Amino acid sequence: MSFSPRSTETAEQIAINALGFIASDPVLLNRFLAITGIEASDIRHAAAQPGFLAGVLQFIAAHEPTLIAFSVNASVPPTEVVKALRSLPLGNDDYERST
């Protein structure tokens, strides 16, 4: 995979891969569901919401062993995961939110 820190499409693909990584590990999946409050049956609906993919990468990036494991599994450097997070809606502190 070629990386461009500004490519939303690349960032989305990294996040989708991260969601698959989470879903493939029952321990990670249970932790993700518990932290987010999402029911497993509602993931598809939640995935359509702004900020969901950023939330997936925030979950990955928040725990260094998980970040490293995902990075190795996906052949994506950890720094690229963080860049991807920042280029997604609600993944950057500067992203404007409606209140």
The pLDDT of residue 49 is 87
pTM, rounded to two decimals:
0.83
- Rounded to 5 degrees, φ, ψ at 26 are -55, -35
Burial per residue of 9-25, b for 16 or more beta-carbon CB atoms within 10 angstroms, e otherwise: ebbbbbbebbbebbeee
Tell me the domain boundaries of the chain: 8-86
pLDDT tens readout for residues 4-56: 445 888 999 999 999 999 999 999 999 999 999 999 899 889 888 889 999 99
Sign of CA dihedral 12, 14, 15, 20: positive
The 3-state DSSP class for residue 50 equals coil
